[in-house]
Amino acid sequence: MRLDYLSIFPAYFDVLDISLVGKAAINGLVEIHAHDLRDWTHDRHRTVDDTPCGGGAGMVMKPDPWGEAFDEIIGTESDPSVHVIFPAPSGTPFTQSAAAELSSAQRIVFCCGRYEGIDHRVIDYARSMWTVHEVSLGDYVLNGGEVAALAITEAVVRLVPGFMGNPESLAEESFSAGQDGLLEYPLFTRPVSWRGLDVPEVLMSGHHGRIASWRRDESVRLTRERRPDLTDSDSSGIH
Ligand SMILES: Nc1ccc2ncsc2c1
């Protein structure tokens, strides 16, 4: 999997060299390429923004640098196997199933906007050429798409076959199919008693059936408490 990042702050992605994603890069599972969008400007000030047509506050990212960057980084041929991701508060909520789908992609290009956003024709052009995802991480606003791109990267790359040492652990995580799309149950380890707080006795019983039942009940309880929106989804197994 090749991952490209287009941003006016490409140094955000240096962290990928030290994180687990960096390990995957060393193992050849993923290739990381960060690019400075200003490298595709031609004026002395390396301008990437301009005032919004129709008025309004703030600045909008000009289409020209993006188009030239696309030409050089992705090419000028249409290819639906290339996934282009625009993180944005107005995007479709990103989910574990979306991460799972993207984990089989061979190319993902992250377009990290700043200012008030990117000229919409950039997204329209990308849609005419590649598979585009406008993605939101939640109902809050960051200063740009870089942090969202890092979060999406981690969610996707950890699902790439061969990345996780023990892929079985993926099956028990929140939102995973193995969890029926429920939130993960509470976890405990030694010591059994800590500051007057004990590990639930059932987990020390060695009775696998009872343990499985307790864990399921806890997942259902947590999901109903914290994410009632998930309890009616087809994958949740609880209705
Ligand atoms: N371009 C941009 C700006 C803010 C923001 N917040 C969450 S994703 C995102 C993307």
Question: ipTM of the assembly?
Answer: 0.95
CA gap 1, 108 in Å, rounded: 8
| 196 DSSP 8-state letter | T
CA of 111 to the centre of ligand 1 (A): 11
C-alpha gyration radius of the chain: 22
Task: Tell me how far the alpha carbon of residue 24 lies from the centroid of ligand 1, in angstroms.
Answer: 26
Element (H, E) at 152: helix 146-157
Pocket of ligand 1 (CB under 6 A): 87-89, 113, 117, 141-142, 144-145, 148
pTM: 0.93
Q: 160: phi > 0 → left, psi -120 to 50 → alpha, else beta; which? A: beta
Tokens of 57: 């506050």
Q: 33 has which bridge partners?
A: 4
Write the pLDDT tens digit of every residue in 25-37: 778 899 999 999 9
The Cα 141–Cα 66 span in angstroms is: 22
Higher confidence at residue 192 or residue 26?
A: 192
Q: Are strands 197-198 and 193-194 parallel, antiparallel or unpaired?
A: antiparallel
